[in-house]
């Protein structure tokens, strides 16, 4: 009887150990950040949620922006990119072909 209690306690300790590991994994999960496109020093209504600013800049370039100034929300960080061109890639769909356009961007220093 005493041995059964010890075994049950060991199982509970193991479960607690696994639960703590799960909590640590959740804490280390990357958070998406909010990037706002700016024109003439003012925020626009275009807001992008991404892990890195270059992905947000690529989305803005696909919307038609040539020079992209992004402000990261809740910080004083700014990022500046310029659209240098487009690449095309074709994907075959069951009902025919469809062309997707992907923007090519290049980071530039903020003081320019």
State the Cα–Cα distance between residues 32 and 22, nearest whole angstrom.
Answer: 20
Amino acid 30: pLDDT? 83
Residue 49 and residue 75 in contact, taking contact as beta carbons nearer than 8 Å: no
pLDDT digits (tens, 9 = 90+) for 52-93: 999 999 999 988 899 999 999 999 899 999 999 887 766 666
Amino acid 78: pLDDT? 95
pLDDT at 14 over 90: no
Residue 68 and residue 105 in contact, taking contact as beta carbons nearer than 8 Å: yes
Strand 67-72 versus strand 42-50 pairing type: unpaired
């Amino acid at each position: 009887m005493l041995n059964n209690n010890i075994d049950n306690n060991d199982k509970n300790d193991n479960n607690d150990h696994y639960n703590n590991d799960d909590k640590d994994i959740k804490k280390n999960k990357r958070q998406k950040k909010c990037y706002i496109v700016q024109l003439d020093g003012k925020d626009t209504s275009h807001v992008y949620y991404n892990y890195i600013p270059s992905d947000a800049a690529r989305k803005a370039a696909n919307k038609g922006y040539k020079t992209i100034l992004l402000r990261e929300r809740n910080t004083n960080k700014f990022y500046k990119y310029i659209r240098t061109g487009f690449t095309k890639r074709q994907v075959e769909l069951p009902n025919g072909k469809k062309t997707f356009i992907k923007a090519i961007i290049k980071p530039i220093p903020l003081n320019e």
